[in-house]
Structure 1
Amino acid sequence: MEKLRILIADDHPLFRYGIGMLLATTGDLEVVGEAATGEEAVEMAAALQPDVILMDIRMPGWNGIEATQRIARRDGKAQILILTMFKDDASVFTAMRAGARGYVLKDAEKDDLLRAIRAVGRGEAIFSPGIAARMIDYFAMTRPAAREELFPELTAREREVLYLISEGASNSDIAGRLELSGKTVANYVTNILNKLQVQDRSEAIRLARESRLGPEGFGTGESSLA
């Protein structure tokens, strides 16, 4: 039986080792490479042509979302399974828009992880149970269809920051979640207030909530967690 060839992209050596040891216990999965940064993941995906890439989100340099986007654009062969501790809606939706086929949390049971790897290798989409339930609930909610026309004066990144603001996130929360500096986030907030012609953060929140801006309204013009 032909084995699924796996590339592990994660900046923690011990975690890569643990995943490698788990996959070594199977007869149908083999690790062909390990990457510690987003750049390495993109380069090794092109060089090794793996079947499945296990991609962490938070890595030095290009993060997992940007690496996923670049790999998906360059070569559609590799199926990407996000393997992370981030379970917020913004991370899930941006990962799927970037081209990931699945999203599993690092605290998943080993059998669930192996099942997810095999499913993604077959071209299926798969999510951790809690995330799948939230996605079903999200799309079941009555809301306007996703539109790029929501706040067209904002960039995709600014719409994402506005969404997080509307969810109650502080600048420091946003900086941590999107891996940006506090100064960069402050600049985004200033730009948002100026473009929306509002006096303060509370008015921006009111506009976002009235428009029902959600993760699907970020757009696809730029990497969402870059």
Structure 2
Amino acid sequence: MNKSNNGQEAAKNFALRRRDFSILVAQSELFTCEVLSQLLKEQGYNVVGRAVEMEDTLQQIRVKRPQCVIIESEISGRKTFDIVKDIQKSNSQTKFILYANKPDVHTIAEAMQMGFLGFLYANDGLEELYRCFQTVSYNECYYSSGFMNLIRNYGIEVMTEKTREELGRLSTREREVLRLIACGHTSDQIADELGISYRTIINHKAHIAKKLDLEGCRQLPRYSISVKNYL
């Protein structure tokens, strides 16, 4: 069976089990949230809840344990990623799809290394959304055509799994330090910008190098530049 037939068979199988694929819709605007929820229900998806605030989103994920959450990046800014981190620690079942409406380059880059499996842009059609659900249901990444155009405009390439895994080892502060290293800042400058001590920066650098399996801090500038677009 060729690749095309395999894809058609997978789509057919997924269509048959849509009711078993539970979805939570989290959008920042109530109207958008309700409309999207209704559209999915009409297509046979099992929409188990909807939310417009971060705390409600987190609570519903914990209680209902949906297999998928389609979450708008603007629902709570960067705190959206705190939701993903918190849930992934205790619940590997839930898969996250990022719906980007008015994204900035750092939000996109952070999402690409945070464990999101699906990436959609606001101008994507419903067919892109359905293909995204199908793909992430098999635990695979999906980048819509609209999202791909968006990141190309930002000069970002799709992150490799190796880079995603490496950056996923770092804390938010460590990624921030690495980003400033990539911008050519000295340790003194980083300390001033972040409002912490020089010694703390040195410790951060040592921890980053260790987590990334680098031979030492001297390799940080070269590495940071290679991943700058994802920081």
Residue 157 of structure 2 corresponds to residue 138 of structure 1: yes
Aligned residue pairs total 183
How far does the alpha carbon of each residue in 1:46-90 deviate from its partner, in whole angstroms, 9 at most, with x for none?
211211101112224972211111111210101111112245443
Residue 66 of structure 2 corresponds to residue 47 of structure 1: no
The residue type paired with residue 143 of structure 2 is: F
What CA distance in whole angstroms lies between the structure 2 residues aligned with 1:188 and 1:72?
A: 33
Per the TM alignment, residue 93 of structure 1 is displaced from its structure 2 partner at its CA by: 3.0
Residue 25 of structure 2 corresponds to residue 25 of structure 1: no
Q: Which runs of 5+ in 1 are unaligned?
A: 167-186, 197-206, 219-226
How far does the alpha carbon of each residue in 1:117-176 deviate from its partner, in whole angstroms, 9 at most, with x for none?
222122221012254465796369xxx9x978xxx9x93253376389x4xxxxxxxxxx
Ranked by relative contact order (alpha carbons within 8 Å, sequence separation 6 or more), the top structure is 1
What CA distance in whole angstroms lies between the structure 2 residues aligned with 1:190 and 1:162?
A: 10
* Paired residues of 1:6 and 1:32 also in contact (CA < 8 A): yes
Picking from 65, 84, 87, the partner of 1:68 is: 84
* Paired residues of 1:38 and 1:66 also in contact (CA < 8 A): no
RMSD of aligned C-alpha atoms? Answer: 4.2
SS of corresponding position for 2:50: strand
* Paired residues of 1:162 and 1:192 also in contact (CA < 8 A): no
State the match for 1:105 in structure 2: 121
State the match for 2:25 in structure 1: 8
State the match for 2:10 in structure 1: none
Residue 230 of structure 2 corresponds to residue 214 of structure 1: no
State the match for 1:115 in structure 2: 131
Identity %: 18
What CA distance in whole angstroms lies between the structure 2 residues aligned with 1:210 and 1:111?
A: 38
Structure number with greater Rg is 2
What CA distance in whole angstroms lies between the structure 1 residues aligned with 2:35 and 2:63?
A: 24
State the match for 1:162 in structure 2: 180
State the match for 2:140 in structure 1: 124
The residue type paired with residue 22 of structure 1 is: L
Q: TM-score, normalised by structure 2?
A: 0.61
More helix by share: 2
Per the TM alignment, residue 45 of structure 1 is displaced from its structure 2 partner at its CA by: 1.0
Per the TM alignment, residue 188 of structure 1 is displaced from its structure 2 partner at its CA by: 7.2
* Paired residues of 1:37 and 1:63 also in contact (CA < 8 A): no
The residue type paired with residue 26 of structure 2 is: A
SS of corresponding position for 1:95: helix
Q: Which runs of 5+ in 2 are unaligned?
A: 1-15, 184-190, 202-219
What CA distance in whole angstroms lies between the structure 1 residues aligned with 2:66 and 2:166?
A: 35
Per the TM alignment, residue 10 of structure 1 is displaced from its structure 2 partner at its CA by: 1.8
The residue type paired with residue 145 of structure 2 is: P
What CA distance in whole angstroms lies between the structure 1 residues aligned with 2:221 and 2:78?
A: 29
Q: TM-score, normalised by structure 1?
A: 0.63
What CA distance in whole angstroms lies between the structure 2 residues aligned with 1:20 and 1:147?
A: 35
